[in-house]
């Protein structure tokens, strides 16, 4: 989801509680805070020696130990107000992919992309997912494209011309 789409989603559902599902049926507890917003530029070279560049907006969620057991979630309105304030200080690249950075004692810290969202009662549930790594230079490296759900992880090997 692009930054503009995420901000629009929050604006459309300002009266709802904002929940984040970081894994199937696993919700970030209500004691979360938005602690940082990062405007990131990625400037990369892949294993096929091709360059690429893109921007991301990374919103960091943190669980406050002082508020363990809190039951009232942040509203979409409050989250939008925080993000608007950030945007006034450092303008967003509105076409940048938005990611949420989160981790807890049961889940490794990761940058998760927005996979979907759901309205359930008075809640806006933003469903997050882990983005798997991939070889971007499959053709140059001779890595066959995956067929169906199966993947060939043996394509990029030491001495194989890539990776």
pLDDT (tens digit, 9 = 90+) per residue, 38-81?
A: 999 999 999 889 999 999 999 999 999 999 999 999 999 999 99
Which of the given ranges, 104-108, 117-121, 150-154, has the highest pLDDT on average?
117-121
Q: What contacts 24+ positions apart, CB below 8 Å, involve 129-133?
A: none
In SS3 terms, 107-152 reads as EEEEEEEEEEEEEECCEEEEEEEECCCCCCCHHHHCCCCCCCCCCC
pLDDT at 20 over 50: yes
| pLDDT value, residue 155 | 53
The CA distances from residue 2 to 57, 91, 92, 113, 136, in Å, are: 9, 14, 11, 10, 21
**Residue 136 banded pLDDT, cuts 50, 70, 90:** confident
CA neighbor of 57 nearest in space, from 31, 83, 79, 89 = 83
- Whole-number average pLDDT of the chain: 90
**Residue 156 banded pLDDT, cuts 50, 70, 90:** low
Q: What is the rounded distance in angstroms from the CA atom of residue 52 to the CA atom of residue 80?
A: 31
Paired tokens of 99: 């990611």
**Residue 152 banded pLDDT, cuts 50, 70, 90:** very low
Give Cβ neighbours of residue 158 (< 8 Å, ≥ 6 apart): none
More confident residue, 155 or 68: 68
Q: What is the rounded distance in angstroms from the CA atom of residue 79 to the CA atom of residue 9?
A: 11
């Amino acid at each position: 989801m692009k930054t503009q789409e995420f901000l629009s989603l929050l604006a459309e559902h300002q009266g709802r509680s904002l929940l984040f599902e970081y894994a199937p049926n696993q919700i970030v507890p209500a004691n979360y805070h938005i602690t940082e917003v990062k405007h990131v530029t990625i400037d990369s070279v892949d294993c096929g020696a091709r360059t690429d560049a893109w921007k991301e907006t990374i919103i960091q969620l943190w669980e406050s130990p002082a508020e363990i057991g809190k039951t009232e979630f942040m509203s979409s309105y409050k989250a939008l107000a925080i993000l608007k304030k950030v945007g006034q200080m450092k303008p967003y690249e509105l076409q940048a992919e938005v990611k949420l950075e989160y981790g807890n004692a049961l889940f490794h810290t990761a940058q998760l992309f927005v996979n979907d969202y759901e309205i359930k009662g008075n809640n806006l549930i933003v469903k997050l997912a882990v983005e798997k790594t991939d070889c971007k230079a499959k053709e140059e490296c001779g890595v066959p494209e995956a067929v169906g759900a199966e993947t060939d992880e043996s394509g990029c090997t030491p001495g194989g011309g890539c990776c």
